Amino acid sequence: MFNVLRNSDSAKELVYQGVRLVLVRRVTELQQQWRDYNGLIIDTAIEHEAKAIVEAVRRAKGIESLIPLFINDIQDFPRELVCHTDGFIDTQHQENVAHKTIAINKRLAQIMVKDSSNFDEEIKYKTLGFIYSRNQIFAPFTSRVSRIGYHFPLLSLYYKNEEKTLLKILESLEKQGYIAKTFRDHIHLCKSCDSNYLNFKEICSSCKSADIQARDMIHHFVCAHVAPENDFKTEDGLSCPKCDKHLRHIGIDYDKPSSIFSCNSCANEFQNPEMQASCFDCDTDNTLSELLQKTIGDYSISAHGEQWLFDMQSPLKKQIETSEIDDGTIPISIFKVLLKQEVKRILTTGITSQFVTIQYENAQFKTLNETMQHALKTEIAEIIRSYLLPSDIMTVQDYNLFHIFIPDTKNPYPERIEHIDYNLNKLLNDNIKKEKSPITVTKTALNSNTKIDTLFNYKDLSQC
């Protein structure tokens, strides 16, 4: 049983085997000190208060927001709120809570603290951190509150009415290999508002009215007459309009080989009605092919995702360092080897080679997420590569930092470097707002005394 310690009039603390949990009744009770506890317990019957507490904690910045958060089980809240917490606890007899709290905090402690500079990065960090620290499947559940029909732990707090973006985040994480998905369901969303609250109905293929009626067709065996059931109906039952015979027994006298729809609006008769999905939220009529199909899955963190949490090493940097990329650059490690070799060659042959560094600077670039930075880097690399000769060697140190090694040239500023400088400046000036040139081109003539490592010491110009 927890030992109850009263700290103040408004809050009380529970301690069990060294685990300190604080009971919170109102969001205003949440102060900076809550980060000092091992966990929080929501202890209010008022739903909006509980919701405010959940949002205040979970939407706080940094890994502390993933602190164990429980609800006193004497309360009853909707699943859409509970899913963002670690569940209900019995404050009197819940020894497992202490163990659960310890386990979560232990895992949280393994995650490297990171000060995310942009929102996407923060979401990625917290999502992966949440899945890892809870050590369980990240499973959405069906919910009418959500526009897409599925509610996600943690993420739904951030993307109210923007569930499509939420799904994109998860797709992106999956695509990058941070999480693995197990198929759960397909959902179909309105083309206009992304809502899943759709009314599927059969409509007339001619006038698009939903006022249609299906009727059975009757085939009278003996005379081969086929028509809708209405044609056969008489006061006495069914009678064939072709041969006037009474139809008594299905399977013997007649059968019903198919059905046909008739439209009460335009009298069109057809067998294959069109399907329409009308959105309850925005009244848009969608044909089935217009609906946006998305996949819902259960997610688990991958080894790659865990590694990212532990050391925060950017996959982009890792990629640049370990493998050749498909934009005509080589890994920096190989580049350095070649450069050292060139210096030795200069020593023996007396030839001249040039080393050029191209860096583009802008604070806007820094705020781009990793994917965008990678895309930008690839595009710029392709442009630079298009001006270089096959004998020129290029590497990428960072998304905005390129090094080019031009062997065996006496020209300290080759014409192709001028072209690169001019065209990149023009391209970036056309797309970003900045008064001074965003491109810095530095040239160094290699000689036998060149210290290789000094060539790569560059400061982050975007802070300038």
Partner 1 sequence: MLEQLIPEYILYWNAVGIPKFIRVFWYFVLFEFTRYIIIDYVVFAIFSLTKNRRNKCFAQARQALFNENPFVSVIIPGKNEGKHLFKLTKSLDEQTFSNFELIIVDDGSDDETPTIGKNLEQLGLIDKFIRNEMRGGKASAANLALRFSKGKYIVHLDADCSFDRDAIENVLIPFFMDSKIGAVGGNVKVRNYKDSLCAKLQAIEYLKTVSVGRIITSYLGIYKIISGAFGAFKKEAIDAIGGWDIGPGLDGDITVKIRKSGYKVYFEPSAICLTNAPSKFKVLTKQRLRWDKSIIRFRVRKHKDVYFPTANFNWATFFSLTENVFYNVVLDILWWIYIIDIIINYSGSLQFIIPMNFTLYFVMNYVQMSSISLFSERSKEERYLWKYVGLMTLYTGTYLRIVRTAAYYKEFFFKRSFEDPWNPYKSSIQAKRAGL
Q: Does residue number 243 form part of the binding site for partner 1 (CB under 8 A)?
A: yes
For helices 119-134 and 303-311, give the axis angle rounded to 10 degrees.
110
- CB nearer to partner 1: pick between 230 and 442: 230
Q: Which two tokens stand for residue 157?
A: 């707090």
Residue 172 dihedral angles phi and psi, to the nearest 5°: -65, -45
Select from 106-114, 129-137, 246-254, 354-362 the region that touches partner 1 (CB under 8 A). Answer: 246-254
Q: Which of 271, 313, 323, 364 forms a contact with partner 1 (CB under 8 A)?
A: 271
Smallest gap from residue 322 Cβ to partner 1 (A): 50
Report the residue number, 223 or 334, with the smaller CB distance to partner 1.
223
DSSP of 359-375, one letter per residue?
EE--HHHHTS-HHHHHH
Q: Which residues contact 39 (CB under 8 A, 6 or more apart)?
A: 19, 20, 21, 22, 67, 68, 69, 70, 86, 97, 101, 104, 105
Q: How far is the CB of 278 from partner 1 (least distance, A)?
A: 20
Q: Please give the span between the terminal C-alpha atoms of the chain, in angstroms, as a whole number.
A: 57
Q: Which is nearer to partner 1, 171 or 269 (CB)?
A: 269
What is the closest distance, in whole angstroms, from the C-beta atom of residue 223 to partner 1 in the complex?
A: 6
Q: For partner 1, which is the closer residue by CB, 219 or 317?
A: 219
- Measured from the CB atom, the residue of 152 and 254 that comes closer to partner 1 is 254
Quick one: 325 exposed, middle or buried, by C-beta within 10 A (0-12, 13-18, 19+)? Answer: middle
Provide the minimum distance between the beta carbon of 224 and partner 1 in the complex, in angstroms, as a whole number: 4
Closest CB to partner 1 among 244 and 415? 244
Task: Please give the helix or strand (H or E) that residue 212 lies within, else none.
Answer: strand 212-220
Contact 13, 20 (CB under 8 A): yes
Cβ closer to partner 1: 227 or 338?
227
> For every residue of 285-347, which 3-state class applies, written as one string?
EEEHHHCEEEEEEEEEECHHHHHHHHHCCCHHHHHHHHCCECCCEECHHHHHHHHHHHHHHHH
At its nearest, how many Å lie between partner 1 and the CB of residue 232?
Answer: 12
By C-beta, is 114 or 219 nearer to partner 1? 219
Which span sits near partner 1 by CB under 8 A: 58-66, 123-131, 270-278, 325-333? 270-278
Residue 1 vs 222, nearer CB to partner 1: 222
Taking CA atoms, 224 is separated from 128, 217, 248, in Å, by: 68, 12, 16
Across-strand partners of 444?
355
Residue 193 DSSP code: T
Least gap, CB of 271 to partner 1 (angstroms): 5
- Does 13 bind partner 1 (CB under 8 A)? Our answer is no
* β partners of residue 228: 217
Closest approach of partner 1 to the CB of residue 262, in Å? 10
Distance CA 384, CA 102 (A): 53
Provide the mask over 272-301, with x wherever binding to partner 1 is found by CB under 8 A and - wherever it is not. Answer: x-----------------------------
The only residue of 20, 169, 216, 270 in contact with partner 1, by rule CB under 8 A: 270
Residues in the chain: 464
Instruction: Tell me the closest approach of the beta carbon of residue 260 to partner 1, in angstroms.
Output: 7
Closest approach, Cβ 186 to partner 1, in A, equals 22
CB of 231 vs partner 1, minimal distance in Å: 8
Residues between 76 and 135 with contacts to partner 1, criterion CB under 8 A:
none
Looking at the Cβ atoms of 245 and 419, the one nearer to partner 1 is 245
178 vs 325: CA distance, rounded Å: 20
Q: How far is the CB of 332 from partner 1 (least distance, A)?
A: 56
Are β-strands 179-189 and 292-301 bridged in parallel, bridged antiparallel, or unpaired?
Answer: antiparallel
For β-strands 274-279 and 285-287, DSSP reports them as antiparallel
Total of residues contacting partner 1 (CB under 8 A): 25
Distance CA 190, CA 279 (A): 6
- The least CB distance from residue 255 to partner 1, in Å, is 6
Residue 415 contacts by C-beta under 8 Å, 6 or more apart in sequence? none
Please identify, using beta-carbon distances, which residue of 184 and 219 lies nearer to partner 1: 219
DSSP 126: H
> Using CB under 8 A, which residues numbered 173 to 232 contact partner 1?
217, 219, 221-228, 231
Show the binding pattern over residues 250-269: x = contacts partner 1 (CB under 8 A), - = does not: -xxx-xxxx-x--------x
Applying CB under 8 A, among 114, 164, 242, 336 the residue interacting with partner 1 is 242
Residue 228 or 328: the one with the smaller Cβ distance to partner 1 is 228
List of residues contacting partner 1 (CB under 8 A): 217, 219, 221-228, 231, 242-243, 251-253, 255-258, 260, 269-272
